[in-house]
Structure 1
Amino acid sequence: MPSAAVDDYLKTIYHHTEWQPVAMTSSQLAAELALAPSTVTEMVQKLAAQGLVSHRPYGPVSLTPAGEKRAAEIIRRHRLIETWLVREFGYAWDEVHDEAEVLEHTISDRLLAGIDERLGHPRYDPHGDAIPDADGHVHREPFVLLGDARVDHTGRVLRVSDRDPGLLRALESRGIDVGHTVTVTGRETVRVDGGTTVELPPAAAAAV
């Protein structure tokens, strides 16, 4: 099987449980990858035969230790490349995802190690996602999803999902990006850095 295809499946499963504990179903995997359920079922069976995922009929799909290690390796590549593009080439945080999707499959291990060293071995990418170390280990701070935070809850923005570039731009225009402090003032409003109260763009509650 093409390595890139395998990596895309493993990354998607990894991402699903990175910020919440419920395992992914085959139908969710198909929807996320925009593929036919039958295609996904066939691929999941092949991945299971390789020892990369654990799956039973009509049950969830989860990574085995081998699958998690491989997923962490490609995610490390992706997130280091995103960080490199922002710091060294002036890319905005909403521009790097697609570039990294291409480059993660092409750069050598030597170049990746050089990028990591030049950047000072960063622990987080521009969106606040943890960068696995060379052994696949990650460090994440305790967090609460913005949509689950009570009114008057104050917290520092740890991570913003990079799935929607338009949402990233809308959040940045309101001062809501990694490192800033927000206080929940209502179901659809927050106060940023103790100052201005702004209205949240659609989907922000599930992305911050």
Structure 2
Amino acid sequence: MPSPAFDDYLKTVYSHTEWQDSPIMPSQLAAALSIAPSSVTEMVKKLAAAGLISHVPYGAVRLTDAGRDRALQMLRRHRLIETWLVREFGYAWHEVHDEAEVLEHTISDRLLDAIDERLGRPRFDPHGDAIPDAEGGVQREPFVLLADAPAGHTGRVLRVSDRDPELLQALEDAGVSVGCEIAVTGADGILLDGRPADLPDGAAGIVWLSA
């Protein structure tokens, strides 16, 4: 069975292409996991030997079908736990990632299903990321990154990246949440639920809108 380290790599590879199409390169994988490129090289070899990824030297890292299935299993755990912590324990959306990273490797399948049932089988986590169902199915509507949205575009916030907790908190302070409406009025202007708003630096690169 894959180890927690295997799972972290697989989740990262899958998540990289969840909201854009370019496959992840080893250097990007190292940066995302905050580890040395040499360590990534060794782990990629192990994952390839286990049939979980496909990779050629200096090329992109891609999941095999088996790797994708495992990544979706772990993302289901991670995102259900994040949703559970927010709804049942009052965690803020910028506080749940590290807790879920620990718990996703420890809870049983029985407890996970009980959490899913108690929450009403949610489709999305607090950040708007899709929660795979028990069969690995994922539902997501067409989207556009706020940074790429043209003037005149109006859409609901579908997803906010949880990569930077401080930026997440700043967005919450600015009134941004999954489901709110953003209208792009110009190069640097937006309306948030119909009112002019200023977003923190970097926000346009981590907020996705309905297309």
Conservation of the 8 A alpha-carbon contact between 1:79 and 1:125:
yes
- For residues 113-166 of structure 1, the C-alpha deviation after alignment (integer angstroms, 9 at most, x for no partner) is 100010110000011000001111100110000000011210000010011111
Partner residue, 1:98: 98
Conservation of the 8 A alpha-carbon contact between 1:94 and 1:169:
yes
Deviation of the 1:187 alpha carbon: 2.5
Specify the code of the residue in structure 2 equivalent to 1:144: V
Whole-angstrom distance in 1 between the partners of 2:176 and 2:37: 37
Specify the code of the residue in structure 2 equivalent to 1:103: L
Partner residue, 1:29: 29
Specify the code of the residue in structure 1 equivalent to 2:47: L
Partner residue, 2:182: 182
Partner residue, 1:206: 205
Deviation of the 1:2 alpha carbon: 6.8
Where 1:54 maps in the other structure, the secondary structure is strand
Specify the code of the residue in structure 2 equivalent to 1:88: E
Specify the code of the residue in structure 1 equivalent to 2:199: L
Mapping 1:123-134, distance limit 5 Å: 123-134=123-134
Alignment RMSD: 1.1
Partner residue, 1:11: 11
TM-score, scaled relative to structure 2: 0.95
Conservation of the 8 A alpha-carbon contact between 1:189 and 1:200:
no
Partner residue, 2:145: 145
Task: Structure 1: state its 5+ residue gaps.
Answer: none
Whole-angstrom distance in 2 between the partners of 1:158 and 1:33: 25
Identity of matched residues, %: 70
Where 2:6 maps in the other structure, the secondary structure is helix
Partner residue, 1:155: 155
Conservation of the 8 A alpha-carbon contact between 1:188 and 1:200:
no
Deviation of the 1:186 alpha carbon: 2.6
Partner residue, 1:52: 52
Number of equivalenced pairs:
207
Deviation of the 1:174 alpha carbon: 1.7
Deviation of the 1:188 alpha carbon: 2.8
Mapping 1:54-133, distance limit 5 Å: 54-133=54-133
Partner residue, 1:167: 167
Conservation of the 8 A alpha-carbon contact between 1:127 and 1:162:
yes
Specify the code of the residue in structure 2 equivalent to 1:119: L
Whole-angstrom distance in 1 between the partners of 2:84 and 2:58: 41
Conservation of the 8 A alpha-carbon contact between 1:153 and 1:183:
yes
Task: Structure 2: state its 5+ residue gaps.
Answer: none
Partner residue, 2:196: 197
Q: Which runs of 4+ in 1 moved over 6 A?
A: none
Whole-angstrom distance in 2 between the partners of 1:165 and 1:39: 26
Deviation of the 1:47 alpha carbon: 0.3
